[in-house]
Amino acid sequence: MPVLGPQRQLLSPLNSTSPATPRLGLATNQTGPQCLEVSVPEGLFLSLGLVSLVENVLVVAAIIKNRNLHSPMYYFICCLAVSDLLVSVSNVLETAVMLLLEAGALAPRAALVQQLDVIDVLICSSMVSSLCFLGAIAVDRYISIFYALRYHSLVTLPRAWRAIAAIWVASILASTLFIAYYNHTAVLLCLVSFFVAMLVLMAVLYVHMLARACQHARGIARLHKRQRSTQQGFGLKGAATLTILLGPFFLCWGPFFLHLSLIVLCPQHPTCGCIFKNFKLFLTLIICNAIVDPLIYAFRSQELRKTLQEV
């Protein structure tokens, strides 16, 4: 299995990566305990990247085509799709290059290595921007619920465009610094802190929104003198919605940032070394999140689905 760009950048000083065949099993660590190593077949990795590419291209095309979708909310969703698209394309592109290098189809050159570094910056910036736009979507929905009467005066197109531009610029600058100073502890801690901040922000906003929705539903139920089981049904539906919104985010992004945390906390510990061996799996989960995002944030829109049918 080829070593990807971020894996090359993050793990080269740890000497913890090695080629492996696609399998799920115990990998013997000569300096520690046996490790559960999940190797992802290259064909599966590339296929997931292709699925993500198709999904997110459809989202972008539908939003561009339908003028009814030219609003701040859908622009944030469109930018999320672009970020997820870049996550998949950059990872797949680097995987393909590394496969060609291993097969001898490409001669390793200094220029090629520099191009891989550029791809690393693209991967990192697309990841950071994807997290930012997930947070921006949460903030937009929060304002639309709690400040509904002032929403169109608060969230205007010029403000949305400025926010989008700021996110892209900040993502590119942050990723450039990360790739340039990847071996500095402060950089890794900043990335992990950024992920935790986004997770807390989204959790607080969505929990508050769902609490308000459940309170409103209970008021309607009391007004119509419905049974208690109906009110409990609203609570279960709210919990399910919260799980759909935050569950994939935590499960797909959490292992990657756990990996970064362990590089800081225990880079030489044998148990942490076992986790480092599954870095390719963590990248695969991020691509899976790029597949899930359109299902959660885009394809649930009836207007967008109608546009896709027309396309």
- In residues, how long is the chain? 311
Give the per-residue pLDDT at 100: 74
* 301 located within any domain: yes
Average pLDDT, the chain: 79
Position 157 pLDDT exceeds 80: yes
Distance, in Å, from the CA atom of 96 to the CA atom of 40, rounded to the nearest integer, reads: 14
pLDDT, one tens digit per residue, over 206-249 is: 988 888 877 776 777 677 665 555 555 555 666 777 788 888 88
3-state SS, residue 197: helix
Better pLDDT: 180 or 197: 197
Least confident of 21-25, 92-96, 269-273: 21-25
* 213 located within any domain: yes
Domains in the chain, number: 1
Least confident of 93-97, 143-147, 192-196, 285-289: 93-97
Distance, in Å, from the CA atom of 56 to the CA atom of 68, rounded to the nearest integer, reads: 19
What band does 35 get if pLDDT is binned at 50, 70 and 90?
confident
Mean pLDDT to the nearest integer, 29-50: 75
Residue 61 structure tokens? 């095309």
Highest mean pLDDT among 73-77, 144-148, 275-279: 73-77
* 19 located within any domain: no
* 281 located within any domain: yes
pLDDT, one tens digit per residue, over 246-300 is: 888 899 999 999 888 888 888 888 888 888 888 888 888 999 999 999 988 888 8
What band does 308 get if pLDDT is binned at 50, 70 and 90?
confident
* 1 located within any domain: no
| CATH code at position 135 | 1.20.1070.10
Distance, in Å, from the CA atom of 311 to the CA atom of 305, rounded to the nearest integer, reads: 10
* 3 located within any domain: no
**By residue range, what is the domain housing residue 176?**
40-223+235-310
Residue 111 structure tokens? 């220029």
Mean pLDDT to the nearest integer, 160-189: 88
* 106 located within any domain: yes
* 139 located within any domain: yes
